[in-house]
Amino acid sequence: MNPNDSDASRFRSATADRRGERDLDDLLIHVARGDQAAFEALYDRMAGPVYGVIRRVLRDPSQSEEVAQEVLLEVWRTAARFDPAMGGAATWVTTIAHRRAIDRIRSTTAAAEREHKSADVSPPHDEVAEAVEASLDRERVRRCLESLTEIQRESITLAYYGGHSYRQVAELLQVGLGAIKTRIRDGLIRLRDCLGVS
């Protein structure tokens, strides 16, 4: 067994089978049929990552809470549109969360309220890790981010956690547009391999 296999299974265990409960995809399929108990179980597993990623992008706790609520309600409303062929339930939900956070910063009012400093490059250490799994994810992502070149790491964290467009990232890092596109893509390829994503 090569080390990548164990990494890959760790990734799956961290994102798909968290706390040994029913598979997230399966939960979401039940949610699509109007099963509120399934939604509660889904909430308990996804509210942390949803709120967390929105909070990283927006920073403001009350705005983040508002957007997180909208996202979780959107998950309930549109669960029937989830297509497992396009990726797992965890990815579907976190993609909605990140997009809604971005939508919020692109709306002008939020932009005015938002701090205009660059995002932290390292994942936060000041927040208490609630679940052991979360700190495991945090540790693995941190380790993998560290394996990138500085410009790859900065462009990916500024884009994802900072909610900046790649044009803004190019501006912030004083690097050409073409170079930033390539750095982001190369960095993601390395992260993908490091995290053992297929």
Q: Kindly identify the residues of this chain, within the stretch 86-105, that bind another protein according to CB under 8 A.
A: 86-88, 90-91, 94-95, 97-99, 102
Angle at 158 between CA 153 and CA 163, to 5 degrees: 145
Q: Given candidates 78, 107, 147, 149, which one binds another protein under the rule CB under 8 A?
A: 78
Alpha-carbon span 125 to 163, nearest angstrom: 20
Q: Given candidates 53, 58, 148, 173, which one binds another protein under the rule CB under 8 A?
A: 53
Query: Under the criterion CB under 8 A, does residue 32 sit at the interface with another protein?
Result: yes
Query: Under the criterion CB under 8 A, does residue 165 sit at the interface with another protein?
Result: yes
Q: Given candidates 61, 113, 146, 147, which one binds another protein under the rule CB under 8 A?
A: 61
Query: Under the criterion CB under 8 A, does residue 172 sit at the interface with another protein?
Result: no
CB of 163 to another protein, least distance (A): 8
| Per-state percent for the chain, helix, strand, coil, to nearest 5 | 75, 0, 25
Query: Under the criterion CB under 8 A, does residue 19 sit at the interface with another protein?
Result: no
In terms of Cβ atoms closer than 10 Å to its own Cβ (0-12, 13-18, 19+), residue 128 is: exposed
Q: Name the nearest CA neighbour of 123 among 101, 103, 143.
A: 143
Other beta carbons within 10 angstroms of residue 36's beta carbon come to 10
Q: Quick check: 115 and 59 in contact, CB under 8 A?
A: yes
How many chain residues touch another protein (CB under 8 A)?
Answer: 81
Find where tokens 């961290």 sit: 14
Query: Under the criterion CB under 8 A, does residue 137 sit at the interface with another protein?
Result: yes
* CB-nearer residue toward another protein: 47 or 151: 47
Q: Quick check: 173 and 151 in contact, CB under 8 A?
A: yes
CB of 15 to another protein, least distance (A): 6
* CB-nearer residue toward another protein: 6 or 192: 192
Query: Under the criterion CB under 8 A, does residue 111 sit at the interface with another protein?
Result: no
